[in-house]
Structure 1
């Protein structure tokens, strides 16, 4: 295999800078490789992040519309997906909640790989790097959940969240408290509860403040606003001679500035949507014909649901104080609930919610929503006004460790105009769009608080699930017949090609999956050898 400088620009190209991409970049650079990270979103300083949800250009990512913010919203036939964009990926817009996967998940991971997988040491390392601690600041919204949980019989399961936030003296900036002075200065959390629209106060442990920060200081090059559209082997069909990666600036006219970058190896880490789209595109268009037919299969969510409560008394402010996600409860061993808030800057998030709607179908649920509006027009009017909504409201999230899946299908458009990815449900294991336990709990809390309960608009109007935790599509396994990658995250059929992001996860994590993605990537990177100093072409010069 040719060395860098003999036709290759880098040893490794990493596509994406989220939890998989950032971990990969640091660990590969530590092993002596030259690394370039290509990220489709912008680079944000803390002060560049949106001051409120109304700053649409900085909040939403839709480059064809000129929007280059931190949150991507993707609507498919069977699921609506919220994900991150920008240098740091989903860590810019997530609630900094970092839980380990359930025992069921870890057992299923072992089954998928075909041998025992011990993620504990990799979880510990990811927790150290991400600064995970117990949230010490519970809020009035946690008390609301605790009272409801007590009445429903699971109050003893309530506990503070595990978060990746610097909880020093509020508003005080100190030298790097995490990496012995090698990291950036940090500022203590103010407790503004605006983690989910971007931490402007340098307190959230987003990836640009740990993994990526350290990777760049080891020589990794991060190129923002570079959308990868093609990955092709150079020379040998299995990629052992390297790859050509075509990238351009995202947006209407970005294709005019295409670049071709050559590397010896490539890591797909663009998140479950980005990686499935790119792999599916490369397979359908014949660029990577050796990819498994399992690309896009076994896609899962956390089988979650989001509901909201807005008190009728406009003087009650449930959405202020603490971090965005402060506490958890477990009504069932397979279910995990969380209290969520957007702080004072998230009023635009109100448009994600509609009046609480019972279970039904795509025909009956919209009718039931309309009936709720007709029966309670004053309540509907109260929650239609977004002004002050995020200060007053709390959100209640639930996740389930149960089977439910769909597939991503990539097909050529008519007239040869590119490809399109959509979803196909699994008829035997559909992803739930209604959770009875959540409906029961939110109605009980609404009665106690004299509040208006709400559910997500796609659920009420389309009977479509909404997730911020899309997983799978390039899952880990034992052969190309049941997976896209092997137990070390190497893509079947190719050399020096890895997948390290949420698309590799083979089962519902049962909790926020960011820590699990980081831990699985730590494990994958531990199998990559240190770069050899021997002459190019020797056996040990092979990357993997």
Structure 2
């Protein structure tokens, strides 16, 4: 693809028109070529999910000339320059959540909803809420944009010995950062009124003698500047990004990997296609049962797709659901017994503190401007990021999101025959307790160093993780390239490959880097 073609494709993608790219590679809608293309049900490769792992897989397969279909359960969300696209804590809509009857998010009232194919799934597992994206672009639509690598000491301790940190820092992390367009918050944005809370957070940390550093993010600073100038709808500058930035302020995968994949001419993307089950047929092909949804969530059709190569990249929660069910129900009986084990919540914790006499500004903007890492101070290694919680933006409060390096506490996905679904079977509050203690100890130190500060208790009934990882770990369930042991042609390519903990970082960068490394070897080996 030429540079001009790529710019044209990215321009369309920037307008939320990924679906419209089909006309460029499949023929105009209504034409015989288009009808023939979209009616196909067999592809050489099929990718389930369009998040960080699935999008990488799609692009590299397409570049290698592999006939590929990407199926995504969520919808493609447009960029609307003049009106809101997504709901927010201050304007709750049905389309914020994936088939929920009530809102469930920190600081959000549990208002009733009409179940819809919304942008974010919150699954109420035992003692843990798991949040994950449900949209074209997967978690990149709803994440905070933080793009960090774990420190080497924790990477080396957690990941299989065949993965070399220096290879990742030399090749795969830079490759992903460049594709995503990650960068530090510019000084003029940091100095603006919506990021008063970020500057206060940094000052509070400095008074506690904690060193903070700016962190990479995948926000489009030109869009953020237009918000500041009043020429773009408000989203990032008022912290309304947890459910997506409808003005394009967030550089989701729909701005990078996905349009590049479609531009190869070898990749199709079908949204609102939810995979219900996977199996292997007697002829050796994989069978993928899919239900097609409309925008309201009604089932339009059910279809069986087949493929020779199946890449399961449905996100940690749903990849484990699909694979564990396939093994226990006999559809893929040779899956390793370790599939479904070693799940972790990445040590996620949310913490608030108030310094009532200090201004946090009229609104609190996202993304995170800075972070600090603590190796020894609080029992567990801990990463603290400056964060924002829109439901609390009217309070004089600063918000911290923490992730701990926890090598011990893991959970298991099991099939529950009574409920006929896969559940997180053995997670308890105690498995999150060490991370909670470390976070409280950290916050207490900051409060003590800042006179007039008070801790705020967040009224959230259970721990929530937006960073579920593990269950199909590299080296245990798969080889180091995500090939599932004992199942030729079957691959895992998402956060479930990570060892239950990223190692002191947000997962997106490492998920994509692991996928880039894996796909380079899979393509080179022909499978």
Same-fold call, TM > 0.5?
yes
Indicate the residue corresponding to 1:288 in structure 2: 332
Local SS of the residue matching 1:149: helix
Give the alignment partner of residue 513 of structure 1, picking from 500, 507, 511: 507
Partner of 1:403: 407
Q: Counterpart in 2 of 1:273?
A: 317
Given that 2:346 and 2:405 are in contact with CA atoms closer than 8 Å, whether structure 1 keeps it comes out as yes
Q: Deviation of residue 255 (structure 1)? A: 6.1
Per-residue deviation at 1:330?
2.3
Give the one of 285, 292, 314 matched to 1:242: 285
Partner of 1:438: 440
Tell whether 2:353 aligns with 1:299.
no
2:331 is paired with a residue whose SS is coil
Contact between 2:324 and 2:422, CA under 8 Å: does it hold in 1? no
Whether 2:198 is the aligned partner of 1:142: answer yes
TM-score w.r.t. the length of structure 2 is 0.78
User: Which secondary structure does the structure 1 equivalent of 2:325 belong to?
Assistant: helix
Moved more, 245-254 or 498-507: 245-254
- Cα gap change, 1:110/1:198 in structure 2, threshold over 3 Å: closer, same or farther? closer
Cα distance change of structure 1 residues 111 and 206 upon mapping to structure 2, 3 Å threshold? same
Rounded Cα–Cα distance in structure 2 between residues aligned with 1:250 and 1:435? 43
Shift in CA distance, 235/108, structure 1 to aligned 2, threshold 3 Å: farther
Tell me what 1:474 maps to: 472
Cα contact 2:262–2:269 (8 A) shared by 1: yes
Which one is further off, 245-254 or 272-281? Answer: 245-254
Aligned residue number for residue 487 of structure 1: 480
Report if the CA contact (8 A) 1:49-1:58 is conserved: no
**Comparing 95-104 with 394-403, which one deviates more in the overlay?**
394-403
Task: Please tell me whether the aligned partners of residues 280 and 295 of structure 1 are also in contact (alpha carbons under 8 angstroms).
Answer: yes
Give yes or no for contact 1:245–1:262 (8 Å, CA) kept in 2.
yes
State which of 163, 167, 183 in structure 1 corresponds to 2:217.
Answer: 163
Corresponding position of 2:155: 106
1:467-492 deviation per Cα after TM superposition (whole angstroms, max 9, x unaligned): 11111000011xxxxx1111111001
| Paired residues for 1:112-511 under 5 Å | 113=162, 118-120=167-169, 121-136=171-186, 137-138=189-190, 139-154=195-210, 157-168=211-222, 170=224, 191-219=237-265, 220-235=267-282, 241-249=284-292, 257-309=301-353, 316-318=359-361, 320=363, 322-332=365-375, 334-342=381-389, 346-347=390-391, 389=393, 393-414=397-418, 418-425=420-427, 432=434, 434-441=436-443, 444-445=446-447, 448=450, 453-458=455-460, 461=461, 464-477=462-475, 483-509=476-502, 510-511=504-505
Aligned with residue 79 of structure 1, among 105, 124, 128: 128
1:46 maps to 79
What is the alpha-carbon distance in structure 2 between the residues aligned to residue 297 and residue 25 of structure 1?
27
**How many residue pairs get matched?**
456
CA distance in 2, matches of 1:71, 1:390: 24
**Secondary structure in structure 1 of the residue aligned to 2:217:** strand
Residues 27 and 525, structure 1, Cα contact 8 Å, conserved in 2: yes
Instruction: Single out whichever of 429-438 and 440-449 deviates more from structure 2.
Output: 440-449
**What residue is the counterpart of 1:88 in the other structure?**
137
Q: Quote the offset at 1:431 in angstroms.
A: 5.8
CA distance in 1 between counterparts of 2:52 and 2:414 reads: 25
CA contact (8 A) 1:303 1:401 kept: yes
Distance verdict in 2 for CA 1:112–1:295, change over 3 Å: farther
Residues 1:339 and 1:26: Cα distance change in structure 2 (over 3 Å): same
* 1:74 CA displacement: 1.4
Check conservation: 1:318, 1:394, Cα contact below 8 A. no
Distance 1:21 1:392, change over 3 A: farther
CA contact (8 A) 2:356 2:452 kept: yes
Residues 307, 442 of structure 1: 8 Å contact kept: no
Structure 2: stretches of 5+ with no match in the other structure:
1-36, 102-113
How much has 1:112 moved relative to structure 2?
Answer: 5.0
Query: Take 1:496 and 1:486, find their aligned partners in 2: how far apart are those partners?
Result: 13
* 1:445 Cα deviation after fit: 4.1
Q: Deviations over 1:236-262 (max 9, x none)?
A: 5xxxx3211101146998567211011
CA RMSD, Structure 1 to Structure 2 (Å)? 3.3
Unaligned residue ranges in structure 1 (runs of 5+): 174-185, 351-388, 478-482, 531-539
Distance 1:148 1:265 in 2: 52
Residues 77/507 of structure 1: CA separation in 2 closer, same or farther (3 Å cut): closer
1: distance between equivalents of 2:423 and 2:257?
A: 31
User: SS of the counterpart of 2:183?
Assistant: strand
CA distance in 1, matches of 2:451, 2:133: 33
Partner-residue secondary structure (3-state), 1:434: helix
Tell me, in whole angstroms, the C-alpha distance in 1 between the residues paired with 2:384 and 2:125: 25
How big is each residue's C-alpha offset from its partner over 1:345-385, in whole Å with a ceiling of 9 and x where there is no partner? x33xx5xxxxxxxxxxxxxxxxxxxxxxxxxxxxxxxxxxx
* In structure 2, distance between residues paired with 1:257 and 1:149: 54
Tell me how far apart the structure 1 counterparts of residues 362 and 330 of structure 2 sit (CA, whole Å).
50
Q: Is the 8 A contact 1:78 1:424 kept in 2?
A: no
The alignment partner of 2:424 has SS state of strand
